[in-house]
Amino acid sequence: GYRHAAHALIYCKMAPSNEKMKHAVMMQLRFDGTLGFPGGFVDGGENLENGLNRELYEEIGLTQANHFTETDYFGSWYHEHIRLMDHFYVKKLTENDFVKLENRTLECHDWGGETMGIIRVPLQKSSKNPNFYSLSQFFQHNFIGNAKHQLIQVLVEKNILPAVDVQDASVNLIN
Ligand SMILES: O=c1[nH]cnc2c1ncn2[C@@H]1O[C@H](COP(=O)(O)OP(=O)(O)O)[C@@H](O)[C@H]1O
């Protein structure tokens, strides 16, 4: 047998007045020092979405109004070496709801334990050097499991950044 986990990428579109950041994408600094998405193990008997919503309440204070459902399902990956089936969900929130979650994190059960920080993925281009993507530096960090791959796939599929820019940032370290 194997265990199940569920993780979520939450993002929002920023107000048009925000010229540098068109979107915000949430990730977290985990207790083990790596970057990943909020979420965790789903207990036996609990359905995936219920498990995910429970984990997201503990980590970022997700409330009923923003609960994940089957329509937010993105895909699953099996990690043979640790016998884990990881289920991935993606949801777009309003900027207001996104910011509320960021702020609530500091008062959550898991703060300072499993969750060492909620961060926004740096998506902006340098104003001085148009070839420079903050993302290329960001990709140099260590990510848990296939979180980096999940991030890349969502950035492209949800049209958060042009595919060519994501590709550039993932193959070139420019600074
Ligand atoms: O963002 C992610 N993407 C893919 N897999 C992840 C991510 N975060 C954690 N995992 C994997 O799922 C397992 C369970 O998730 P959880 O967040 O509870 O981590 P933990 O067991 O290290 O506390 C982890 O051991 C890790 O292998």
Q: Determine if the pTM surpasses 0.90.
A: yes
Over the chain, what is the mean pLDDT? 94
Whole-angstrom Cα Rg for the chain: 16
Nearest CA to ligand 1 atom 11: 145
pLDDT in tens, 88-112: 999 999 999 999 999 999 999 999 9
Domains in the chain and their CATH numbers?
A: 3-122 (3.90.79.10)
Q: Which of 136, 150, 111, 146 is nearest to 25 (CA)?
A: 150
Q: What is the pLDDT of residues 38-74, one digit of tens each?
A: 999 998 889 999 999 999 999 999 999 999 999 999 9
User: Facing residues of 41 across strands?
Assistant: 5
Can you tell me the ipTM of this complex? 0.94
Candidate from 31, 86, 89, 116 with most ligand 1 atoms within 8 A of CB, to mutate: 86
Which segments within 3-158 are labelled E, that is strand? 3-13, 23-30, 35-36, 39-41, 73-79, 84-93, 115-120
Cβ neighbourhood burial of 88 (10 Å; 0-12, 13-18, 19+): buried
Distance 145 CA to ligand 1 centre (A): 7
* Ligand 1 geometric centre to CA of 144 (Å): 7
Six-digit token string for 173: 């370290």
Q: Which residues 6+ apart lie within 8 Å of 78 measured at CB? A: 2, 84, 85, 86
